[in-house]
Amino acid sequence: MPNGPVHADAMRTLHARRLRQLIMLLLAMLATFTLASTRFLQWPVFGSLVAGMAALSAAWWRLDRGHERSALMIVLWSVTLLATAILWLRGGVRDLFVLAYPLVLVLAALTTSPRPLLALGATMAASLGLLTLAETKGWMDFTPLPTGGWSFFDRVLLLAVLAVCVRTLALDLQAAVHRAEAEGSRAKDHAARLAFLVQHDALTGLPNRLLVQDRFVQAEARARREGRPLALVVIDLDDFRRVNDSLGHAVGDAVLQRMAERLRLVVADTDTLGRLGGDEFVVLATEAGDPDALGVLAQRLLDGLAEPFERAGLAIACGSSIGIAQYPRDGNSFESLLNRAEAALARAKADGRNGFRFADPEVDIDVGEHLRLVSELRGAADRGELELHYQPLVRLADDALVGVEALIRWRHRERGLVPPSAFIPLAERGGLIHAIGVWAIREACLQARRWDARGLAPMVVSVNVSPVQLGVGDLDARVAKALADSTLPPARLQLELTESSLLGDASPLRDQLIRLRALGVGLSIDDFGTGYSNLGYLQRFAVQSLKIDQSFVRGATRGPQGEAIVRAIVQLARSLGIRTVAEGIEDPETARRFAALGCDVGQGHAWGPPLPSADFVAWALARSR
């Protein structure tokens, strides 16, 4: 639809132009009439005409200064009073100038409010009434106007002016009607578009959750009445976030649109395909009635989505995972079936992805337990349930303590010590990991300063950073505040990042890491070699250490091939001036072997498990003695 203020300005401009044209026409008509009828005009009539032209000139002057309303009122009243004066001075109610009255009323009706229109109409009615009464009573004797060439010219001139005015008003009225019709049509189009968007996804054009739920109600009534099959199939793209982060949201949107097209080709016309949000789609299946048929449908969906496609010169492939819930076995409402299907989807992802699972009670129990854990995890730091345990980092060359890794532990008031593998993924999915991670960084910095006060040798403290945290724009500001509050030198704080979190080197991530390095903190790559190893980010972000994954540490003790992999990683890091850390060293023999391979630092139970702060201090003091 047209913008309101712009449309109003255009209308004001049109009205001003029409008013100026009207004033010009009236001035031209009065001037022509005066000049053509000079020898027939009485002086009072001549004076009235001159006064009318002066009033119209004043209206022009007001219009040029932007006073459109006052100019319009001057025109309406000057024409009305001029016509009234000529009627009284010349021919009475039979004078041709009486035609000016309806013209003024029409113009006033189209351009003013009711109050001026009523005032003008009352003035005209009073004038005509008094004229009629004066002529009837014989109080005034109006001499009939002479006929002839000049009288004919006067009448033609007045009628021409009236015709032009009426024609202009009619054209403007037609244009207004056309504009109203066009705006009405646009309004209908927008209303239809809004109605579509209320029930459809804007990106893919698929039904959204609201419309799918509405169709479920209809399908459920038919299934209950006719015994027809009904199931909800929830589809989630695997690693879609990786595509978004590495290639950008424009490519991510293109992937979603392409996946929606592929799903349309697989889903039957009688089924409903919708998008629940993000990278999650849903199929309301009304034809596949048994697990075998649903399994065939799910496999067709998996196969249809798995095929790579070209985009900007890249071959992009997105696997998927599927959860299936059947009516009425798994529930008799949309929400209950959707919850069961998403629980089955979670099981499919946990079992390795790129597969499908059917809902079952065990999955629902797991999901309920996860939801309870997420609820209890909120505020755990405020309740004092979160704590850090510290595992030593030891230089292999001389067995000196050079740092610690701070590891989060949750000591639940009822469940006891909850392992990180049980709550860290939940914190990431539940949006809690950033707050927990910031708490860990702050607590680790403060604890390092407390150790300084206890007399421990200064050491570097490493804290793990979740990929989710890197996506939050204020991580560097939170780190800077933690360093300032604790007065810990930035060089003594090291942030451990996973390789997958650096995949793609997207601009926001790159800027975040550059700001972190500008603070002076160190960066370490955790589990190096298990992800998407990229030598570029090692130099670009001035990475200070690589942590060799435990699987390579164990592999190095089993044969020459595993040992060769470790030696290659160590040599690569050394050539780049990067320190290597072997984690998962369990015994002194393995520590000596990795020292011989050139690894710089070791971590593992060969020196001690992760310990609470007090136990770590006791261990460190005893070791120093």
- Rounded distance, CA 365 to CA 417, Å? 21
- Mean pLDDT of the 158-185 span: 71
- Rounded distance, CA 492 to CA 521, Å? 7
pLDDT at 490 over 90: yes
- Mean pLDDT of the 564-589 span: 88
**Token pair of 522 as six digits:** 């160190």
Q: Please, are residues 73 and 56 in contact by the beta-carbon 8 Å criterion?
A: no
For residue 555, the tally of other CB atoms under 10 A from its CB is 16
Q: What pLDDT is attached to residue 406?
A: 94
pLDDT at 314 over 90: no
pLDDT at 4 over 70: no
Question: What percent of the chain has pLDDT above 90?
Answer: 18
pLDDT at 616 over 90: yes
pLDDT at 79 over 90: no
pLDDT at 365 over 60: no
- pLDDT-derived band at 539, boundaries 50, 70, 90: low
- pLDDT-derived band at 603, boundaries 50, 70, 90: very high
pLDDT at 196 over 80: no
Q: What pLDDT is attached to residue 532?
A: 47
- Mean pLDDT of the 354-365 span: 73
- Rounded distance, CA 345 to CA 276, Å? 14
Domain boundaries, the chain: 4-179, 209-359, 381-624
Residue in the block written with tokens 């044969």: 559
Tell me the per-residue pLDDT of 81-114, one tens digit each, with 9 for 90 and over. Answer: 888 888 888 777 777 778 788 878 877 887 788 8
**Token pair of 182 as six digits:** 């066009």
- Rounded distance, CA 67 to CA 454, Å? 83
- pLDDT-derived band at 296, boundaries 50, 70, 90: confident
Question: What percent of the chain has pLDDT above 70?
Answer: 83
Q: Please, are residues 348 and 403 in contact by the beta-carbon 8 Å criterion?
A: no
pLDDT at 149 over 60: no
pLDDT at 277 over 90: no
Residues 6+ apart with CB under 8 A from 107: 22, 76, 165, 169
194-198, 267-271, 327-331, 343-347: lowest mean pLDDT where?
194-198
Q: What pLDDT is attached to residue 448?
A: 94
Q: Hey, which CATH number is domain 381-624, 3.30.2020.30, 3.90.1150.10, 3.20.20.450, 2.40.30.130?
A: 3.20.20.450
- pLDDT-derived band at 38, boundaries 50, 70, 90: low
- Rounded distance, CA 497 to CA 534, Å? 13
520: enclosing H helix or E strand: none
* DSSP 3-state of 143: coil
Q: What pLDDT is attached to residue 600?
A: 94
Q: What pLDDT is attached to residue 375?
A: 77
User: pLDDT higher for 530 or 428?
Assistant: 428
- Mean pLDDT of the 563-582 span: 87
- Mean pLDDT of the 21-28 span: 81
Nearest to 584 by CA among 623, 521, 528: 528
pLDDT at 62 over 50: yes
* DSSP 3-state of 509: helix
CATH of domain 209-359: 3.30.70.270
pLDDT at 413 over 70: yes
How confident is the prediction for the chain on average, in pLDDT? 81
- Mean pLDDT of the 399-417 span: 89
Enter the DSSP assignment of 147.
Answer: P
* DSSP 3-state of 583: strand
User: pLDDT higher for 385 or 248?
Assistant: 385
- pLDDT-derived band at 135, boundaries 50, 70, 90: confident
3-class secondary structure for 269-285?
CCCEEEEEECCEEEEEE
- Mean pLDDT of the 138-144 span: 72
- Rounded distance, CA 86 to CA 90, Å? 6
| pTM (whole model) above 0.85 | no
**Token pair of 286 as six digits:** 């009304």
Q: What pLDDT is attached to residue 394?
A: 94
pLDDT at 357 over 70: yes
- Rounded distance, CA 488 to CA 402, Å? 16
Q: What pLDDT is attached to residue 312?
A: 63
Q: What pLDDT is attached to residue 556?
A: 76
Q: What pLDDT is attached to residue 554?
A: 79
- Rounded distance, CA 440 to CA 495, Å? 11
User: pLDDT higher for 119 or 155?
Assistant: 119
Q: Please, are residues 69 and 36 in contact by the beta-carbon 8 Å criterion?
A: no
pLDDT at 46 over 60: yes
pLDDT at 463 over 90: yes
Nearest to 262 by CA among 232, 254, 324: 254
- Mean pLDDT of the 505-531 span: 77
Q: Is there a shared CATH topology between the 209-359 domain and the 381-624 domain?
A: no
- pLDDT-derived band at 1, boundaries 50, 70, 90: very low
